[in-house]
Amino acid sequence: MNLILLGPPGAGKGTQAVRIVEKYNIPHISTGDIFRENIKKGTELGKKAQEYMNKGELVPDDLVVEIACSRLLEEDCKEGFLLDGFPRTVYQAEKLDEFLAAHGRKVEHVLDIAVEKEELITRLTGRLVCRACGASYHKVNMPPKTEGVCDTCGGELYQRADDTKETVENRIEVYEAQTKPLVDFYEKAGVIAHIDGATGLDNVFADIVKVLG
């Protein structure tokens, strides 16, 4: 089961990824995590990526592809994988297809979790995070028992700098511009399923299971 997870910031991809991985027993592969892992281990790929990041530049497509695809060769991906954050461009998607075809595999399902822009803004601008343990809350949907205090560890809750309305709107616009061609690409390939991400966590997961079987 080779899966790709798409969805704008705030669509609930992280929550659904955890459930998919548990149910289908495949690894959740986030490109951000792979980058950090390679940089931490000081691999050649990690060093190359770090050079671009140090200059504040985007890591080039080919290097992103190389890092992601090298992860797919690891033992735990034999029975499948859930890719999150990769591919981000049509070029990356084409290269992923070539790589998988060379290993007798293919992308089987692309799950596109869709949520209206206004709902995404409400979700993201209301998010609160604990400074001490990293637990997440929401001002409206999941408030802490005591305002500004984490239920779990008593730590201070704060709003991340990138969760302001202006930044959130910008992140959504960037995502839409980047991902629209990718959605069209997988639409043509006939492997994409559009999931309504506004129906509640359990319903969203039930819809995903209907697609995956």
* Residue recorded with tokens 């931490």: 40
Q: Are 58 and 88 in contact (CB under 8 A)?
A: no
* Residue recorded with tokens 């043509």: 188
Q: Are 41 and 30 in contact (CB under 8 A)?
A: no
Strand 81-84 vs strand 28-30: parallel, antiparallel, or unpaired? parallel
* Phi, psi angle pair for 64, to nearest 5°: -60, -45
Strand 2-6 vs strand 81-84: parallel, antiparallel, or unpaired? parallel
Taking alpha carbons only, the member of 180, 179, 169 closest to residue 124 is 169
The Cα–Cα gap between 18 and 5 comes to 12
The residues annotated with a catalytic role in the active site are: 13, 88, 127, 160, 171
